Every structure is written in structure tokens, then in C-alpha cells.
């Protein structure tokens, strides 16, 4: 959690859509009322692959507690099956994809690489940004997410 930074300016959910596992359009505003841990990742990103089990563990730890881990794949449309299979191996995470890069393009400040994780409170306000991989199953990460969910 040493890489976690507070946003430089107030920000809310980016106004961009992506799709769920059924291909249905989704926006982050659909999760309002929950703390959202938005993880931008891709199957071609080794640090992303490394941290995914810890994100699954985080979602398990906060099941039913108003926290949603949104692991948003930036894989191309041609890699959808590969990305879906990868997420299926990391239950209880749900599959989401942004093959058009709409969400990363709409985030300010600019995302510098993958993985990047953005932490939003229950009101949809950006509270933290972590660029690079992290152990989301650590006591420190759980404490950060607990504070996010409580605030």
C-alpha cells in the first residue's frame, strides 16, 4: 500500500461504459452505494496476472459488506475468451471488459500503465490511486478498503 496516493483533485466516476460477461453495457455509476475497487488489467500484463488472486481474496473478504471489486480487462475484443477464462479461475470476481479503452481514457489524471487500481467511496468519489501491483489480500489493503467502505 506504500504506492497508494490520494487524488490531486476531487474526481468521481469516469463517464464511460464497458461490458459485463454477457456483453451488457455497464457504467461505474451502476455500483453507486458500494465502495468500488476498480482494477484496470490485461492478460498480457504480468503484474496484473500476479495480483489477481489477491483481488479475488479481497472480494471474498468483503462479500456482503458493500464493496465491489471491478476487475476491468483492457484486453482486445479478440482476447475476450482468454480474459473470461482467466477471471473465471479467480472467483468470486465478475468479468468486465473495456476493449475500447473508454474508462482509462476518461480518467483524470492519465493512467500511466497496468495494473492501476482506483478506489471509490460509496458516493462514487475517488479516494485513492495505486499504480502498479499490490497485495490486496494484505491486512493493510483490507484496512484501506474497510475505511473506504465505512466512509
pLDDT digits (tens, 9 = 90+) for 133-144: 999 999 999 999
Residue 109 has pLDDT above 80, yes or no: no
Q: How many domains does the chain fold into?
A: 1
Give the H or E element holding residue 129.
strand 126-131
pLDDT digits (tens, 9 = 90+) for 25-79: 999 999 989 999 999 999 999 999 999 999 999 999 999 999 999 999 999 999 9
One DSSP character per residue, 24-66 reads: -EEEGGGGTTSEEEEEEE-TT-HHHHHHHHHHHHHHHHTTTTT
Q: Residue 1 domain-assigned? A: no
What is the side-by-side order of every strand in the sheet holding 116-120? 25-27, 17-20, 96-97, 67-73, 35-41, 116-120, 126-131
CATH number, domain at 96? 3.40.30.10
Domain residues for 80?
A: 17-150
Q: Residue 51 domain-assigned? A: yes
Q: Residue 128 domain-assigned? A: yes
pLDDT digits (tens, 9 = 90+) for 76-107: 999 999 999 999 999 999 999 999 999 999 99
Q: How far is CA 32 from CA 21, 36, 76, 88, 101, in A?
A: 20, 8, 27, 24, 21
| Separation of alpha carbons 91 and 5, rounded Å | 28
Q: How far is CA 63 from CA 19, 35, 74, 145, in A?
A: 22, 12, 25, 12
Q: Residue 9 domain-assigned? A: no
Please confirm whether the linkage preceding 8 is cis (ω < 30° from 0).
no
pTM for this model (two decimals): 0.97
Q: Residue 112 domain-assigned? A: yes
C-alpha cell at 130: 495505486
| Separation of alpha carbons 8 and 20, rounded Å | 30
Q: Residue 8 domain-assigned? A: no
Q: Residue 91 domain-assigned? A: yes
Amino acid at each position: 500500500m506504500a504506492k497508494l496516493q490520494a487524488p490531486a483533485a476531487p474526481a468521481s466516476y469516469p463517464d464511460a461504459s464497458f461490458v459485463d460477461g454477457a456483453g451488457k453495457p455497464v457504467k461505474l455509476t451502476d455500483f453507486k452505494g458500494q465502495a468500488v475497487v476498480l482494477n484496470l488489467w490485461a492478460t498480457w500484463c504480468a503484474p496484473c496476472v500476479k495480483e489477481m488472486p489477491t483481488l479475488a481474496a479481497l472480494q471474498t473478504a468483503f462479500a456482503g459488506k458493500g464493496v465491489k471489486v471491478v476487475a476491468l480487462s483492457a484486453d482486445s475484443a479478440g482476447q475476450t475468451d482468454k480474459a473470461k477464462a482467466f477471471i473465471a479461475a479467480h472467483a468470486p470476481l465478475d468479468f468486465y471488459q473495456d476493449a475500447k479503452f473508454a474508462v482509462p481514457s476518461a480518467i483524470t489524471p492519465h493512467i500511466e500503465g497496468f495494473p492501476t487500481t482506483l478506489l471509490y467511496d460509496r458516493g462514487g468519489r475517488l479516494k485513492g490511486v495505486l499504480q502498479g501491483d499490490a497485495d490486496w489480500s494484505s491486512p493493510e489493503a483490507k484496512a484501506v478498503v474497510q475505511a473506504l467502505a465505512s466512509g
